[in-house]
Amino acid sequence: MQIDWFTLIAQVVNFLVLVWLLQRFLYGRIVRAMDEREAHIASRLEEASRLRAETEREATEYRSQKLALEEQREQVLLRSREQAEAQRQQLIDEARREIENMREQWLDALQQEKKQFFQDFREKIGQQVVMIVRRALHDLASVELQEPMTNSFLDRLEKLEPSGRQVMVDAIRASEREVEIRSAFPMNSRMRERIIQALRDHLDDGVAVRFEVEPALGCGIELHAHAQRLAWNLNSYLEGLEDAFVQELQNKAMEHGAQQQSNSGQQQWTAPVRP
Amino acid sequence: MTVDITPDTIVYWQAGPMRLSATLVFTWLVMLLMFLGSWLVTRRLSTGHKLSRGQNLLEVVVGAIQDQIQSVTGQESRRYLPFIGTLFLFIVVSNVLAVVPGFHPPTGSLSTTAALALCVFVAVPVYGIAEHGLVGHLRNYIRPSVFMLPFNVIGELSRTLALAIRLFGNVMSGTMIAAMLLAIAPFFFPVLMQALGLLTGLIQAYIFAILALVYIAAATRAHEPQGPETAAQPGTKGD
């Protein structure tokens, strides 16, 4: 066992070469890579902590924003509820008003209709009554009744006002002294004579008379000269009767309607009025 | 039975004083392996998350060496890493490859261990002078008093000698025991001794590197010598 000096020196050189080689190819590179990785990791950690801080800040911000939004939402909801309630109340009021209007219109229309109905009814009744009377008189009218009617006509002729008489005289003259006497039934000669005589006495002594039968006339006698007419018949009475009858019925109906309206006004909500 | 105590005795070629012994050849082989391994791994290094297995292994090894240097010296590890790391890795690779049949570990040669010890012997004052300057370093030899100068010088020489002899003795004995057991009991026992040899080889590499580190650290931290000296005690007790 001895030291070989050549080997020793060679080994020293070898060792130094190895140190250089490893420094060149191992330690330098590995340490550099490790340092770079450490720096990388440190930067990543720093980035992560920065991001975390940022995230926390954002989370805080979002939380506060969320709270604010919720509060705002509550306010909006509350406001909406209030508006909806107000609108609902308004709509209900409008609907009530509308219903009230409609009800009033309907009541008015009903009243109008009722009035009209009663009006028509009254007129109908009046017309019916007059028609019945007219028919009754028509049925009763006869040749025998002709004479009193002629008397009445002649009486009327006699009692004619001077102005009226003058009008009739003018009319007779305008018709070349020819007048026409209309009656529902044919007259006998005696009555004809009386009429001619009366006309000549009171109106014109040269008057010519023509007698016509007009069944539509019913009861009565008419004198036609030019555009003038002198008549006595039941129609004029009956027309007056109809007018008076209708007037009287209307007065009664109006009294009854006023009374009923005051009654219905008191019962406005409790019992609707039925036609 | 002939046993080659040291690979120095195996000479492949000789020209005058130049002898191409197995020590040199296997040293070059180890150097080539280490160089190739380093080059293959470090030619494509990643600084991201994905690491190749080789890079991971080398990073673990280099990181562990750096941690050891840091914990023993308490100083920045970069300046000691190439020297101490190469010592450790060379001895480890040589010793571990001893299990390969036909391989003669260069550390089993006294010439090699003496060369390594010589390097340490030179590195101590180099680091010391680099740290404290020539005067500052030489002043260490007369501490605590000038009378300690001869003892310090003797200590310096003897520890270098001990460093060389310790490694050589351990490796050589491991190889010899394996060879002898192979002759006596060819089954089972040699395997056990080889495994033991692996362990011893690793421990010896560790001891050699740590002791070198302690000597260098003692030179660079001259003003507080008790720290490194006490740290060296457990390492020296092992053998």
pLDDT tens across A148-207, in order? Answer: 888 888 888 888 888 888 888 888 888 888 888 888 888 888 888 888 888 888 888 888
pLDDT tens across A197-233, in order? Answer: 888 888 888 888 888 888 777 677 888 887 787 877 7
CA–CA separation, B37 and B57 (whole Å): 11
- Is B3 domain-assigned? no
| Residue in chain A lying closest to B168 (CA) | A1
CA–CA separation, B186 and B189 (whole Å): 7
- Is A258 domain-assigned? no
CA–CA separation, A275 and A110 (whole Å): 7
Write out the E strands in B73-227.
none
Contact criterion met (CB < 8 Å) for A3 and B89: no
Q: What are the residues facing A225 on neighbouring strands?
A: A228
Q: What are the residues facing A208 on neighbouring strands?
A: A178
> Does the pLDDT value for residue B239 go beyond 50?
no
Please list every residue in chain A whose beta carbon sits closer than 8 Å to the beta carbon of residue B6.
1
> Does the pLDDT value for residue B233 go beyond 50?
no
Residues A90 and A169 both lie in one domain: no
Q: What is the 3-state secondary structure (H, E, C) of chain A?
A: CCCCHHHHHHHHHHHHHHHHHHHHHHHHHHHHHHHHHHHHHHHHHHHHHHHHHHHHHHHHHHHHHHHHHHHHHHHHHHHHHHHHHHHHHHHHHHHHHHHHHHHHHHHHHHHHHHHHHHHHHHHHHHHHHHHHHHHHHHHHCCHHHHHHHHHHHHHHHHCCCHHHHHHHHHHHHHCCCEEEEEECCCCCHHHHHHHHHHHHHHCCCCCEEEEEECHHHCCEEEEEECCEEEEEEHHHHHHHHHHHHHHHHHHHHHHHHHHHHHHHHHCCCCCCCCC
Distance of CA B196 to the CA centre of its chain: 18
Long-range Cβ contact pairs of A265-271 (< 8 A, separation 24 or more): none
- pLDDT value for B225: 46
Of B6, B55, B112, which has the smallest distance from its Cβ to A11's Cβ?
Answer: B112
Q: What is the mean pLDDT of residues A225-247?
A: 76
Distance set, CA A166 to CA A63, A64, A161, A201 (Å)? 116, 114, 9, 14
13-42 of B, contacting A, C-beta below 8 A: 17-19, 21, 23-24, 27-28, 31, 34-35, 38-39, 42
B14 pLDDT tier (thresholds 50, 70, 90): confident
Please list every residue in chain A whose beta carbon sits closer than 8 Å to the beta carbon of residue B92.
none
Q: How many domains does chain B have?
A: 1
- Is B6 domain-assigned? no
- Is A94 domain-assigned? yes
- pLDDT value for A42: 93
Of B5, B28, B38, which has the smallest distance from its Cβ to A25's Cβ?
Answer: B38
- Is A133 domain-assigned? no
- pLDDT value for A58: 95
Closest CA to B5 of B205, B194, B199, B173: B173
Instruction: Give the number of A-B residue pairs with CB atoms closer than 8 Å.
Output: 122
CA–CA separation, B216 and B159 (whole Å): 12
Please list every residue in chain A whose beta carbon sits closer than 8 Å to the beta carbon of residue B23.
4, 7, 11
- pLDDT value for B184: 82
- pLDDT value for A265: 54
> Does the pLDDT value for residue B12 go beyond 90?
no
Please list every residue in chain B whose beta carbon sits closer than 8 Å to the beta carbon of residue A45.
none
> Which is more confident, B196 or A75?
A75
Interface of A with B (CB under 8 A): 1-12, 14-19, 21-23, 25-27, 29-34, 36-37, 40
Best probe of the B interface among A9, A13, A26, A38, by most B CBs < 10 A, is: A26
Cβ-in-10-Å burial (0-12, 13-18, 19+) of A117 comes to exposed
- pLDDT value for A260: 67
CA–CA separation, B177 and B171 (whole Å): 10
> Does the pLDDT value for residue A145 go beyond 70?
yes
Residues 6+ apart with CB under 8 A from A129: A241, A242, A245
Q: Which domain holds residue A184?
A: 144-234
- Is B25 domain-assigned? yes
- Is B4 domain-assigned? no
- Could you give phi then psi for residue A176, rounded to 5 degrees? 55, 45
pLDDT tens across B92-126, in order? Answer: 999 999 888 888 889 888 889 889 989 998 998 89
- pLDDT value for A118: 79
Looking at the complex, report in whole angstroms how far the Cα of residue A51 sits from the nearest Cα belonging to chain B. 20
Looking at the complex, report in whole angstroms how far the Cα of residue A11 sits from the nearest Cα belonging to chain B. 6
Residues 6+ apart with CB under 8 A from A263: none
A70 pLDDT tier (thresholds 50, 70, 90): very high
Angle at B140 between CA B135 and CA B143, to 5 degrees: 130
Q: What is the ipTM of this complex?
A: 0.85
- Is A31 domain-assigned? no
> Does the pLDDT value for residue A270 go beyond 50?
no
CA–CA separation, A168 and A156 (whole Å): 13
Distance set, CA B80 to CA A18, A27, A89, B27 (Å)? 15, 11, 94, 22
- Is B153 domain-assigned? yes
- pLDDT value for A218: 67
Contact criterion met (CB < 8 Å) for B58 and A30: yes
The pLDDT > 70 percentage for chain A reads 91
Radius of gyration from C-alpha coordinates of chain A: 63
- pLDDT value for A81: 95
Looking at the complex, report in whole angstroms how far the Cα of residue A45 sits from the nearest Cα belonging to chain B. 14
- pLDDT value for A110: 87
pLDDT tens across A73-131, in order? Answer: 999 999 999 999 999 999 999 999 999 998 898 888 888 888 888 778 877 887 787 77
Residues A149 and A99 both lie in one domain: no
The pLDDT > 90 percentage for chain B reads 27
- pLDDT value for B219: 84
Q: Which domain holds residue B206?
A: 11-100+107-237
Contact criterion met (CB < 8 Å) for A21 and B21: no
Looking at the complex, report in whole angstroms how far the Cα of residue A56 sits from the nearest Cα belonging to chain B. 27
- pLDDT value for A139: 76
- Could you give phi then psi for residue B19, rounded to 5 degrees? -120, 120
Of A7, A23, A26, which has the smallest distance from its Cβ to B109's Cβ?
Answer: A7
Q: How many domains does chain A have?
A: 2
Torsion of CA B143, B147, B148, B149, to 10 degrees: 90
| Residue B114 contacts A where some CB pair is shorter than 8 Å | yes
- pLDDT value for B238: 39
pLDDT tens across B140-179, in order? Answer: 888 788 888 999 889 888 988 888 888 888 877 877 777 7
